[in-house]
Structure 1
């Protein structure tokens, strides 16, 4: 019963705008005290006010859990592809990752009616959830107080990763540092292969961007040429129409002159 009451209070607090947090927390604490539930009152009173970015992510977790679930499923696929060094699948998933994170950040801003506020921090937190299972669980719980940042190249076969969180530690989420071990020859080869694949991916993206840019330039040139040709055509048509009009006028004057000459004869 206490857990359900705490969950309800958490959902209300972390779905509300940060500026309303303190007032709502006071209401919830008073409600728990009125019910003579001192433990619940203490737990609610210990809840920390979220930053705007953390609140936006919490709002997604509470209002659109389906979207958060899709994000976490994608994160699992990404981590699996990274562990197995499946380059082609990883490139496709990485493209989906960027699009998904951006779309979810914008969805959070729309839910909150806050425009582009703190979107970079929201995207960073969602990216952390994609890369690390602990961060994913914290995001899904919907009670972040600070934005999250993940540093490192995803998950390699022997990850050495660090989850960074500004400010106070999150409930249920501590700073994560994987134990370092002496890399073996296989580790070095796998990491070298991962770096090579990443370099190939980066080059492929650069080449794709170059090709797209060139194609756009060619399209703009072709459109300009088409516009010029249509303009020349219109001018030619007007010139032909003017010439035809001039011919008719001349023919009319010739006819009048012929008639006048005939009358004189």
Structure 2
């Protein structure tokens, strides 16, 4: 049975991304108020998912049986590739497209139920599910329901192509040579109908293919490096965001304390002002009394007998 914290995390990744930060902040504050600093720290480390990742998370959390079907198909595809079963591979590839399309449709319905009218990047959702078919590690991430960004995959890899060889009659005439050197029992032959021009064109296509593959590999390496840098930047930005949020919380607490002290100070000023006014009245009364007594004394002294 999932813990209360796991349930909170599941709710975070099930809700639309725009409410993620507010919900996470509320959960962190609740954990802090209850004295559970470990849970608060765990929640603070959670990252906001993209819209595409949220859609995939919805599918994994609410329709896990569909993800299991995807995983089973992925295993079947890899087995067909290893066995070079072309017919089975074609059938599974067709099934793959159908399954991915069905999953994208199911994810779309779940997302629109959660947030009607939302703009959904279904292309990224499809790319993530396709990547999960190709890579077990990506499938494992999808199953958690805690993706933070969409995944991509370049393709399902290359199926090794066997070299075409034609065994000549000479190989059967000299069976002893097979035992001595297997390469001498067969020879690579060119198809006779292939002209020099066709071979040259094929060679150019091969070179073009190799050049394009090298370029794409360089681009892939550069893109992966850029992705790593972007991930690092994102992590730094999210950490800075969390620090800023915590600073705001601390400042809010300080502001509340200052407001309380200000209210108390205003009340003290009012009391002191009242005391001053009372003192002013008493001083005025005392001065009047002094004046009256002085006047009486002067009158008395003026009437003193000689």
Shorter-chain TM band: 0.5 to 0.7
Q: For residues 98-130 of structure 1, what are the alpha-carbon distances to aligned partners after superposition, in whole Å with 9 as ceiling and x for unaligned?
A: 011111111111111157721100000000000
Equivalent of 1:138 in 138, 141, 146: 141
Q: Distance in 2 between matches of 1:116 and 1:18?
A: 12
Q: Show the counterpart of 1:198.
A: none
Q: For residues 135-176 of structure 1, what are the alpha-carbon distances to aligned partners after superposition, in whole Å with 9 as ceiling and x for unaligned?
A: 00000001111100012434758xx999969553799xxxxx
- Alpha-carbon deviation of 1:36? 1.5
- Alpha-carbon deviation of 1:5? 3.3
Alignment of 1:90-129 (within 5 A): 90-113=89-112, 117-129=120-132
Q: Show the counterpart of 2:154.
A: 151
Residues 1:137 and 1:106: Cα distance change in structure 2 (over 3 Å): same
Contact 1:109-1:116 within 8 A present in 2 as well: no
Unmatched tracts of structure 1, length 5 or more = 172-265
Contact 1:106-1:116 within 8 A present in 2 as well: no
Matched, 1:59 2:58: yes
Q: How many equivalent residue pairs?
A: 168
Structure 1 runs (4+) greater than 4 angstroms displaced:
160-167
Alignment of 1:214-233 (within 5 A): none
Computing the radius of gyration over CA atoms, which structure comes out larger, 1 or 2?
Answer: 2
Q: Show the counterpart of 2:231.
A: 168
Contact 1:57-1:142 within 8 A present in 2 as well: yes
Matched, 1:31 2:30: yes
Matched residue of 1:148: which SS?
Answer: coil
Contact 1:131-1:150 within 8 A present in 2 as well: yes
- Alpha-carbon deviation of 1:65? 0.6
TM-score in terms of structure 2 length: 0.50
Residues 1:119 and 1:86: Cα distance change in structure 2 (over 3 Å): same
Q: For residues 203-231 of structure 1, what are the alpha-carbon distances to aligned partners after superposition, in whole Å with 9 as ceiling and x for unaligned?
A: xxxxxxxxxxxxxxxxxxxxxxxxxxxxx
Q: Show the counterpart of 2:46.
A: 47
Q: Distance in 2 between matches of 1:20 and 1:115?
A: 14
Contact 1:11-1:142 within 8 A present in 2 as well: yes
Q: Show the counterpart of 1:14.
A: 13
Unmatched tracts of structure 2, length 5 or more = 161-216, 236-306
Q: Distance in 2 between matches of 1:151 and 1:72?
A: 18
Q: Distance in 1 between matches of 2:156 and 2:98?
A: 19
